[in-house]
Amino acid sequence: MTKQQANWSPYDNNGGTCVAIAGTDYCVIAADTRMSSGYNILTRDYSKIIQLVDTSVLASSGFQADVRALQKVLAAKHLQYQYQHNKQMSCPAMAQLLSNTLYYKRFFPYYAFNVLGGLDREGKGCVFTYDAVGSYERVGYSSQGSGSTLITPFLDNQLKSPGPLLLPARDAVTPLSESEAIDLVKTCFASATERDIYTGDKLEILILNASGTRVEYMELRKD
C-alpha cells in the first residue's frame, strides 16, 4: 500500500527576477515583466513591483497569486498603521511587517520571493531581502527569482561587496551614482535574459530618491 500523493499543487511558479540596489541617497528596484507557467508565457506585461509607501517599494517573484494577496494584505495593514500612528510607515518598519506577515503563514507559506527597497528615515537607500517564510536581512543589494543565481555573483563582483565575516561590519550600500546603478541593473537583466528562459520581455525599474519616485522601462529579449 503506497502512500497517497497529491494529484495537484496549490502553488505554481510564474518565474521572473527581481533586483534592488541601495545607494547613499537613492534606491533602485527592478523586475522583469514576464509571467510564465511551465514552458508557456502567460503575459509579457505584468508588473511584479508595488509601491506600498512613498519610501518603500516591494518587488516579488514566485507565485503571482500569492504575491498579489501579500501585496493587498500589506496595503491594508499600512492603512491601519496610518490611522493609528498618524504617519506613514518607514522602510525598516515595513520590512519588519513583511517578515511578520510571511511568518504568520509559516505552515502554508506565501510562495513569494521578496525584495523590499526604499529609503530609511535618514534618506539613505535600504534593501531588505527575504525568503518565503520571512527570514530577512538588510543588505546593500539583492536579487531574487529565477535569474538570481545568474545575477547575484555578478553584483557581488561589481559592487565589491565586503566579505560578510569581516569585522567591523561594513555597510554594503554602494557609492555608485544613481545613473551608474541604473545602468548596472540594465546590464544584469540583459545578461540574465540571455540564459534564463523565465526572464525577459521588458524591464521595469523604479528609482526612489529625495525628489520622489521615477519609473523607467527597457525592452528585453522576447525569446
Partner 1 sequence: MFRNQYDTDVTTWSPAGRLFQVEYAMEAVKQGSAAIGLRSKSHVVLACVNKSNSELSSHQKKIFKVDDHIGVAISGLTADGRVLSRYMRNECINYFYSYESQLPVGRLVVQLADKAQVCTQRSWKRPYGVGLLVGGLDESGAHLYYNCPSGNYFEYQAFAIGSRSQAAKTYLERKFETFMESSRENLIKDALFALRETLQGEKLTSSTCTIAVVGVGEAFHILDQETVQALINEFEIAGEEAPADEAAAPDQADDSESSATAADQVTPSDPDVAPMDM
Query: How would you label 46-84 residue by residue, b for 16+ Cβ within 10 Å and e otherwise?
Result: bebbbebbebbbbbbbbbbebbeebbebbeebbeebeee
Pick between residue 69 and residue 190 the one whose CB is nearest to partner 1: 69
Pick between residue 76 and residue 215 the one whose CB is nearest to partner 1: 76
Stretch that binds partner 1, among 4-12, 69-77, 118-126, 160-168 (CB under 8 A): 69-77
Stretch that binds partner 1, among 75-83, 89-97, 144-152, 184-192 (CB under 8 A): 75-83
79 contacts partner 1 (rule: CB under 8 A): yes
65 SS3 class: helix
Pick between residue 8 and residue 83 the one whose CB is nearest to partner 1: 83
85 contacts partner 1 (rule: CB under 8 A): no
Question: Could you tell me the sign of the dihedral formed by the alpha carbons of 73, 74, 78, 81, in that order?
Answer: positive
Stretch that binds partner 1, among 26-34, 44-52, 71-79, 121-129 (CB under 8 A): 71-79
Tell me the Cα Rg of the chain: 17
Question: Closest separation between CB of residue 199 and partner 1, Å?
Answer: 29
Task: Give the chain's length.
Answer: 223
Cα of 18 vs its chain's centroid, Å:
5
Question: Closest separation between CB of residue 68 and partner 1, Å?
Answer: 10
What DSSP character marks residue 4?
P
What is the distance between the alpha carbons of residues 147 and 188, in angstroms, rounded to a whole number? 9
Pick between residue 110 and residue 189 the one whose CB is nearest to partner 1: 110
Question: Closest separation between CB of residue 30 and partner 1, Å?
Answer: 26
Pick between residue 39 and residue 83 the one whose CB is nearest to partner 1: 83
What is the distance between the alpha carbons of residues 162 and 50, in angstroms, rounded to a whole number? 30
Binding site for partner 1 (CB under 8 A): 72-73, 76, 79-80, 83
